[in-house]
Structure 1
Amino acid sequence: MKTIKNIILVIAISMASISLAQIAPVDDNGLAIGGYDVVAYFSGKAEKGLESYSAKYNGVTYYFANITNSNAFKKAPKKYLPQFDGYCAWGVGEKETKFPINPETFDIVDGKLYLFFNGPFNGAPFNTLEPWEAETSRLIKAAHKNWDKINKSN
């Protein structure tokens, strides 16, 4: 019995660490946001999509949790796309660079989706959503000002 509890504990810890993994906004296979549903964010949750509900936009594949979300995206994709091509909004605004993101860490401001780095950094946890929330207005302005320069240089 103790062995089973230990196995379950190891699995739970492994799953928790997986959810904190940082990813590129678009992977090498052209999949956006690790397969997370960009429409679902607007209902307040980070939700994995399914390959069976997918759509391509500008050469990038997006997965959706259901047909309703897939259809909403197909009707107005720009409405749901994350800002700054999905890179960490705080990184663009505060550090003038592209950081990977944790697809479960996000914010919706004025109908726009922003994604964030949230994981280990220099041996300690770092959630960029926290400093973002402390200075959202300033960081949004800075990020939009920085984005063209950052995007062209990389």
Structure 2
Amino acid sequence: MNRFVLSIAAAATALSFANQAFAGEQFIDETGFAVSGYDVVAYFSLPQNPVGQTQPAPVEGNKSITAEHNGATFAFSSEENRDAFTANPAKYVPQYDGHCAYGVAKGGKVPGNPTLWRIIDDKLYLNITKNVVGFWEEDIPANINLSTGNWPSLDPQPASDATIPQWSSAAPQG
């Protein structure tokens, strides 16, 4: 019995490392930072507006407070947020490596705009434009199901190299 339990634990550990190894490339825009240099931990402390309303502005990171994850540099507004991220990056990184959640639902990798965000079931989702947010919000659970089904085939593809439309991001402060 103990060998069986150890085998299951070893298999689970191996699978968790395998999933990390096969993570797709993080979307990085012209700032050179993941999520345009916004603090991914700070999203989780912002008030979230109801569906159909614009979310609050995200918190800019500081270019001197950073951490590396999935081949990308993430910036943070405080050392505490950076430490929370490094302790559990999977909790904070945007879904689909920072690509637009609705784009993934439709079968492609397009940039995620960090000002168009929503947290659902403790996961951060980004979308590309305000119009797309409207389509995403028409049926968020169905769109998440589509995205989840599409992601395995999209994940190994290179990250989007497109620019976020009508978006002029600035590098983190500091």
Give SS of 1:130's match: helix
Distance 2:41 2:116 in 1: 15
Distance 2:61 2:31 in 1: 16
Report 1:91-110 matches (<5 A). Answer: 91-93=103-105, 95-110=106-121
Give SS of 2:85's match: helix
TM-score by length of 2: 0.65
Report 1:12-27 matches (<5 A). Answer: 25-27=27-29
Q: Which residue of 2 aligns with 1:144?
A: 148
Match among 51, 58, 62 for residue 50 of structure 1: 62
4+ runs deviating over 6 angstroms: none
Q: Which residue of 1 aligns with 2:50?
A: none
**Bigger share in strand:** 1
Distance 1:150 1:138 in 2: 18
**Bigger share in helix:** 1
Unaligned runs of 5+ in 1: 1-23, 119-125
TM-score by length of 1: 0.73
Percent identity between the aligned chains? 41
Q: Number of matched residues?
A: 123
Does the Cα contact within 8 Å between 1:99 and 1:117 map onto a contact in 2?
yes
Note the C-alpha offset of 1:30: 5.1
Residues 137 and 86 of structure 1, relative CA distance in 2, 3 Å threshold: same
Distance 1:90 1:26 in 2: 18
Q: Which residue of 1 aligns with 2:71?
A: 59
CA deviations over 1:43-96 (Å, ceiling 9, x no partner): 125111001111111321100011121111011111101111110001111x21
Residues 81 and 148 of structure 1, relative CA distance in 2, 3 Å threshold: same
Q: Which residue of 2 aligns with 1:39?
A: 41
Higher mean C-alpha deviation, range 138-147 or range 126-135: 126-135
Does the Cα contact within 8 Å between 1:25 and 1:34 map onto a contact in 2?
no
Q: Which residue of 2 aligns with 1:72?
A: 84
Distance 2:110 2:100 in 1: 5
Distance 1:29 1:116 in 2: 18
Give SS of 2:68's match: strand
Unaligned runs of 5+ in 2: 1-25, 47-55, 159-174
Q: Which residue of 2 aligns with 1:88?
A: 100
Greater length-normalized contact order (CA 8 Å, ≥ 6 residues apart): 2
Note the C-alpha offset of 1:27: 3.5
One-letter amino acid matched to 2:156? K
Give SS of 2:97's match: helix
Does the Cα contact within 8 Å between 1:83 and 1:89 map onto a contact in 2?
yes
Does the Cα contact within 8 Å between 2:67 and 2:82 map onto a contact in 1?
yes
Does the Cα contact within 8 Å between 2:101 and 2:112 map onto a contact in 1?
no
